[in-house]
Structure 1
Amino acid sequence: MPEPTAANIPRSQGRRLGLDMAKTQKWIFLTIAIVPPFGGYLLFTLFPNLLSVYYSLLDWDGFTDATFVGLSNFVTAFQDKYVWRALTHNLWFMLTVPFLVVFVSLILAYLITNKSYRENGFLKVLFFFPNVLSTVVVALLWAFIYDGSYGLLNGILGVLGVDTGNFYWLGNERTALAAVIPAWVWGGVGLYVIIFANAMLAIPKSLYEAAVLEGAGHMTRLFRITMPLVMPVVRVGILFLVVGTLKSFEIILILTNGGPFGSTDVIGLYMFNLAFGDEYRNYGYASAIGMILFVILVSAKLITDKLFPNKGVEF
């Protein structure tokens, strides 16, 4: 009996073999494309988070034997005045940093896209430059700016006739919290300038031309055309900034380490010091605070969605 070849295989059977081979290749491709990233997500994101839930029920310093304490860590956290102080500072940053970053970014992006400056390309690079720098570099730059002895801020104020002496802005309880905000805003504006500018460039020019023919000025075009059409992008930016101000602490760690006297402490930094600090180490209590922070982040996301609904705009 002759062996089957391409010439004597029935057409229907050949089609079926081709479909089976294509299906096999598809599953091989999906396995190679999905399994590694999904496995990394399970190993480095989901599993540590589930482990944190377990740790939050323990009294454990990471070295000695753990003791199961149930919800005791959560009760202690709600009674801890330092947790509430840190959350108050987070709320302050959440109400100021996203608003300032979005406001400044929208103005700069609108000027770049609607004014024919020859330096527009250079300005985009200049605005984005802080995002190229690491958080450590940004924090150190602003630490030098605020320095009391040779800081740039005191030097500028001295030129303007304001004698501040050797006042150290990050070393005073009255000014340290507010002094962190410009550093945070400066480090975040550049990215959103580029994002908002690209969103504005995607708006058809015909809309602006029609508005000009109707006699609309710059402010009318800004608030009646530009802002409504870029609002979905702005909404995503606000969401990222709100979540970032709640969970980020790196710039504060380098600038002030929560000082002076806890006046700039935030919940992420407090949790970090509880877990890895030298004076007091309790992974269980830090994990409980992490779970509380998780609930706050989810709530902040839901509130942001409520305040800034996702309304699709077609043009």
Structure 2
Amino acid sequence: MLAYRHAFHAGNHADVLKHLVLTQVLRYMVSKDKPLRYIDTHAGAGSYLLKGKDAQKKAEYREGIGRLWSRPDLPPALADYVQLVQSFNLQPDENGVVPELEKGMTPPLALYPGSPSIASMLLRKTDTMRLYELHPSDVRTLATHFGHERRTNIIGGDGFAGLKAELPPSPRRAVVLMDPSYETVGDYGKVVAAMRDAVTRFAEGVYIVWYPQVSRVEAVQLPKRLMALAPKGWLHVSLTANKADGHGFGLMGSGMFVINPPYTLHNTLATEMPVLLEALAQFDEASYRIEEQPA
């Protein structure tokens, strides 16, 4: 399980969909006055160097965030997401100096923020973060990025098990992101079990599950299994950007399943997904899908 490293895939089409949805959920949640807790069960490293050898091996970001990077015609939610990634690329140098850009210019695409960094840019001082990660080197990287933040706890451990201790949260508002690697087929069952337990412990939480579109029956069945756990409403959005290879393998796309979604999310995605499909499609039959069961 610890063999998986997200650095090889950072910024690809699956990350774009994941972080578009995450950004919109958090934007809505922080618009309310009450404090919020963000819980990331599989936090990763939090930041990825796109010019590094891992990211350059397949350079998947070029067919993901790279296709959106300099587009001036993006609709609001996509533009918001891209601007967050651009601001992440304007980090201070070793002397604490933030590079300046001429008006209308975009920074070079060198870094991609993981979900904890996206969340950190959106959360307020009164909000808190709980970041779970198993991989020791990623835990160290998280500590480098977030160890100075009093609002953030980094836990080197299993996020599936750790989620039980987090719910119900204090304050009683929470967004949970669960996006394991699914490197082993057992992860699909763990996701369902963890979500069933989470909804039982804290029915009011907003739960976001990312999953890959791959040639596995478990991946196809996962959204339907999650639908049965969401009596208060759910939203499911998926993007098929690429076709499988000649052997039927490869990441064809991904999906996001949101339990208790913001009421604004469906209409936002209905506007944004056609543009995202046009931008990221890698074959003629590329498609997207949005399903919703209101509360």
Q: Structure 2 length as normaliser, TM-score? A: 0.25
Higher relative contact order (CA 8 A, sep 6+): 1
Which of the pair is proportionally richer in helix? Answer: 1
Q: Structure 1 length as normaliser, TM-score? A: 0.24
Which of the pair is proportionally richer in strand? Answer: 2
